[in-house]
Amino acid sequence: MKLDRHRQRIRPRHRFATAQWAVDEKETIVVELEHDGVVGLGEVVPSTLYGQSLESSEAALDAMIPLLGDDPFAIQHIITCLIEQFDGQRAAIAGVDAALHDWAGKRLGIPVWKLLGLDRPRKQTTFTIGVAELDEIRVKLEEALAAGFDALKVKVGVEHDHEVLSVIREAFDGPLLLDANQAWEPREAARRIKELVRFRPAMIEQPLRKEDWRAMAELRGLALVPIFADESCERPADVVRLHGYVDGINIKFTKCGGIREALLMVTIARALDMQVMLGCFVCSSLAIAPALEIATLVDLADLDGHLLLADDPFDGITRSGGVIELGDQPGLGISPRA
């Protein structure tokens, strides 16, 4: 197996910000895995929140090459080996995991969802409105509604949350997910949540710092709105740890390492009667497709990373209103835009 990599530059249409960070422009890494004349593609989307950078991901990818072997169909074996050695660099593992699935699908002439025994991916995604001043919120909201999105996710955890949510609820009556991105102290969070329920949120994501996960049980106990863990839930074992403390988990491939580990997290969560959401970072379609392949298994999808871009370098995911889908093309169904 031959593995090449190169960086790609992507730019959101608007500055994208949360209570913690902002993105005007970023780079991700495209992985090309070649074997027997077939090329599988994947995207690495590192996040400093999880100790990952472009450099650490590139170093991990280079060190993975001797471990890949010569059978790209041995996906589970390869991913298990990579996790043993590169547990802290799961964004890089997710890129390889995607490229292996893409390769296997292309080699067999079938889409990845079919390879996995799943239904054709067709899923409503929320569209995320980041932290911004009110004027910009109005512009983003108008754009989102004009584009047909019918479920929104709003970043909260700043002083003017109430003004922002009032503006949104004046124009939008549909499902509204709130993400606090670790903004609050445990005592403050209960008060904030009580104040925010009047905006009828469908759920609140990560109200507390990731290490304060135990205190999420009290917020859940208020029974006002389902509480989901995002930053507190990275890997499969975290799902077990969080059982009883939150209503649901947000799985992201950057955190867990791709399709294999995500399937394990879904299985654990279902066995524990927890809700499941799939999330993402700002990225191109190439990183959204692997998550979309398994999206029919989850309750909520927030797979809008590519929809936030000014120019997506890849094609293949179609959208009508708030629903994104993949077709019957072999592999991940994604190709570089001409």
* Residues forming the site for Mg ion (CB under 5 A): 179, 205, 230
The least distance separating Mg ion from the CB of residue 17, rounded to whole angstroms, comes to 13
Other C-beta atoms closer than 10 Å to the C-beta of 134 total 12
Residue of minimal Cβ distance to Mg ion: 230
164: its two tokens: 């922002």
The least distance separating Mg ion from the CB of residue 230, rounded to whole angstroms, comes to 4
The least distance separating Mg ion from the CB of residue 182, rounded to whole angstroms, comes to 9
The least distance separating Mg ion from the CB of residue 18, rounded to whole angstroms, comes to 8
How many residues in the chain?
338
Please identify, using beta-carbon distances, which residue of 102 and 179 lies nearer to Mg ion.
Answer: 179
The least distance separating Mg ion from the CB of residue 206, rounded to whole angstroms, comes to 5
Please identify, using beta-carbon distances, which residue of 97 and 179 lies nearer to Mg ion.
Answer: 179
Please identify, using beta-carbon distances, which residue of 112 and 165 lies nearer to Mg ion.
Answer: 165
Whole-angstrom Cα Rg for the chain:
19
Q: What is the DSSP string of 147-179?
A: TT---EEEE--STTHHHHHHHHHHH--S-EEEE
Please identify, using beta-carbon distances, which residue of 179 and 261 lies nearer to Mg ion.
Answer: 179
Please identify, using beta-carbon distances, which residue of 205 and 312 lies nearer to Mg ion.
Answer: 205
Please identify, using beta-carbon distances, which residue of 61 and 246 lies nearer to Mg ion.
Answer: 246
Q: CA triplet 251, 257, 260: central angle to 5 degrees?
A: 85
Among the listed residues 226, 135, 243, 125, the one whose alpha carbon sits nearest the alpha carbon of residue 179: 226
Q: What is the DSSP letter of 133?
A: -
Please identify, using beta-carbon distances, which residue of 64 and 151 lies nearer to Mg ion.
Answer: 151
**How crowded is the C-beta side of 235, counted as CA atoms within 13 Å?**
11
Question: Which residues does 289 contact at the CB level (< 8 Å), separation at least 6?
Answer: 98, 112, 316, 317, 326, 332, 333, 334
Please identify, using beta-carbon distances, which residue of 86 and 245 lies nearer to Mg ion.
Answer: 245
Q: Is the dihedral of CA 302, 96, 233, 242 positive or negative?
A: positive
Surface-to-core class of residue 146, CB atoms within 10 Å of its CB (0-12 exposed, 13-18 middle, 19+ buried): exposed
H/E segment holding residue 2: strand 2-10
Other C-beta atoms closer than 10 Å to the C-beta of 203 total 21
* Residue at 208: amino acid letter: L
The least distance separating Mg ion from the CB of residue 228, rounded to whole angstroms, comes to 8
The least distance separating Mg ion from the CB of residue 156, rounded to whole angstroms, comes to 11
Partners of 10 in the beta sheet?
A: 26
The least distance separating Mg ion from the CB of residue 302, rounded to whole angstroms, comes to 8
